[in-house]
Amino acid sequence: MGMMDESVLAQHPGVHPSVGKFLASDLPLLLGGEEVPAASGETFEVYDPSTGRVLARVAKGGVADVEAAVAIARRNFDSGAWSTATPRRRQDVLLRFADLVDQNAELLGHLDALNTGLPVAQAMGATDRAATHFRYFAGWATKLQGTTIPVSTPEQWLNFTKLEPVGVVAAIIPWNTPIDNAVWKLAAPLAAGCSVILKPAELTPLSAHVLGRLLYAAGLPEGTLTILHGFGDVGAALAAHEGVDKIAFTGSTEVGREIVRASAGNLKRVSLELGGKSPAIVFDDADLEATVPGVFNGLFYNSGQICCASSRVLVQESIKDRFLDALAQYARDLTLGPPFQDSSQMGPVISAGQFARVAGYIESGLAQGAVPLVGGAGAARGDQPGYFIEPTIFTGVTPEMRIAAEEIFGPVLAVSTFRDESQIRALANATVYGLSASIWTRDIGRALRAADMVRTGIVWVNGHTVLDPASPFGGVKQSGYGKELGRDVLNNYLSVKSVWLKY
Ligand code: NAP
Ligand code: MG
């Protein structure tokens, strides 16, 4: 038996039986497909944030395991077992995997519900997205093609390009949406023919491990993928390793900067999906029936732990009161609770550390003179087990406040007002981040002018956090570089070879 606190599942009636079986033994590393303990023999505990209890014990990879994983990935890549497999074969494996995700949806979704506290119906949504995402990228495996280029050389040359997999990819991901994060970092590089080492967040390694097992069950050749559980030192060792050709990172801007520095040794390629402080810009002609829930869910979904969350609201002064009254009502009506309770609409934040961090931001908002419309003092509840934080909406937020500029990654919304369109450019862009923005108006001219003014990688008009595997996602400024999703993400995992042939 593993070290799971046996009573933890009893707290969550309705958990699928496959979850108990999965958690019954300690989780090893998935080294090139083989399940092995960490070289050091060390393990770490994974928690249920809605009770604070131990959910699982997991092998704690270290630098020796990084060495082993990189050696396996290099051998696999150079062998051609996956990197030169026919496009049809890569497509078939990814499609079979998508079917296995569907067949194991409860195991995956329920594990993430337990591990993140997200209400189970919402957690199940990620399994649907995972299968859809893989089917989309399976299609790309057979459609990656170079071009023939009409060169102007004096002699006759045929010049064409080939798209080749970049090599060994190390992917490092955070804890906020574990299945989505893993899937975004697996489908595209595997479709391209890369070998992948995935380092899940130490807080949420469980569902990524299942995805790894299912990829091998779908026919991925041995050695093509490693799921390397561990802490930040594992990520840092991967970022610095000469045997890694590319790092794909999602997480904080601070760690993103460290990764860029560490990558300099072998000049490995890097793509970064970092933090945000995305504004929702609400004009006075907006359809409030749609705008209020749209802006509300844009921030409070997943307790605000979403990189593109609408964590700043800029609302036009003339409708401020009407808009905020309705928004506050949504916040008051929201039911917090554990993931398998039917009434739960929002869960806890991920950990004691995140709880303290968010509570600190709420205190700083109060100390700097922001006005709590809902929540505020006492929102971070210490009166029960689990890391529950009530929604907090601050009004009167001014640019010098920390809650105006810094990524909180919790259920805390910062509201400020504007008089007219001329202020949008300065207000919306007053942050180092540039991930996304939403614009709420019925006036298409206004919408398009505002979309031009915001410096972000994504703009939604009359929506927020609308995603599709076919549409590129990613930021500008300190929100990172290199797109996720769509045809664009494949550029992260491919290099162009130009071939010349004299005739
Ligand atoms: P993080 O520290 O950036 O961690 C992300 C991933 O990087 C984790 O797997 C982490 O391992 C690993 N890591 C840590 N230090 C590393 C290093 N020096 N080199 C390479 N990899 C390293 O993010 P976090 O601690 O999970 O969250 C902190 C804050 O980041 C949040 O409060 C939020 O503001 C922001 N964040 C943003 C996003 C986003 O999608 N934009 C997502 C999550 C968090 P460990 O798990 O062991 O730490
Ligand atoms: Mg960290």
Q: Pick from 255, 355, 389 the residue to mutate for probing ligand 1's pocket: most ligand atoms within 8 Å of its CB.
A: 255
- By three-state DSSP, how is residue 137 classified? helix
Q: Are 283 and 316 in contact (CB under 8 A)?
A: yes
- The string of pLDDT tens digits covering residues 426-457 is 999 999 999 999 999 999 999 999 999 999 99
- The string of pLDDT tens digits covering residues 83-132 is 999 999 999 999 999 999 999 999 999 999 999 999 999 999 999 999 99
- By three-state DSSP, how is residue 252 classified? coil
The CA 137 to ligand 2 mean position distance, Å, reads 29
The CA 36 to ligand 1 mean position distance, Å, reads 25
Considering only CA atoms, which residue is closest to atom 42 of ligand 1?
251
Two structure tokens written together for 312: 């700043």
What is the C-alpha to C-alpha distance for residues 387 and 404, in angstroms, rounded to an integer? Answer: 23
β-bridge partners, 36: 29
Name the pLDDT band for 381 (thresholds 50, 70, 90): confident
Q: Are 213 and 11 in contact (CB under 8 A)?
A: no
Two structure tokens written together for 411: 């259920």
147: Cβ–Cβ under 8 A, 6 or more apart, which residues? 160, 161
Q: Are 311 and 413 in contact (CB under 8 A)?
A: yes
User: Is 358 touching ligand 1 by the criterion CB < 6 Å?
Assistant: no
Q: Which atom of ligand 1 is nearest to the CA of 408?
A: 34
User: Is 202 touching ligand 1 by the criterion CB < 6 Å?
Assistant: yes
- The string of pLDDT tens digits covering residues 230-279 is 999 999 999 999 999 999 999 999 999 999 999 999 999 999 999 999 99
HSE-up of residue 409 (Cα within 13 Å, Cβ side): 22
Of 372, 369, 397, which Cα lies nearest the Cα of 277?
397
User: Is 272 touching ligand 1 by the criterion CB < 6 Å?
Assistant: no
Indicate which residue of 307, 308, 390, 484 is catalytic. 307
Q: Which helix (H) or strand (E) holds 454?
A: none
Q: What is the 3-state secondary structure (H, E, C) of 436-488?
A: EEEEECCCHHHHHHHHHHCCCCEEEECCCCCCCCCCCECCEECCEECCECHHH
Of 363, 358, 111, 72, which Cα lies nearest the Cα of 214?
111
Average pLDDT of every residue of the chain: 97
- The string of pLDDT tens digits covering residues 301-339 is 999 999 999 999 999 999 999 999 999 999 999 999 999
Q: Pick from 63, 116, 172 the residue to mutate for probing ligand 1's pocket: most ligand atoms within 8 Å of its CB.
A: 172
Two structure tokens written together for 262: 């560490």
Name the pLDDT band for 154 (thresholds 50, 70, 90): very high
pTM of the model: 0.97
User: Is 159 touching ligand 1 by the criterion CB < 6 Å?
Assistant: no
Q: Are 98 and 129 in contact (CB under 8 A)?
A: no
Q: DSSP assignment of 20-38, as one string?
A: HHHHTS-B-EEETTEEE--
- Whether 407 sits among the annotated catalytic residues: the reply is no
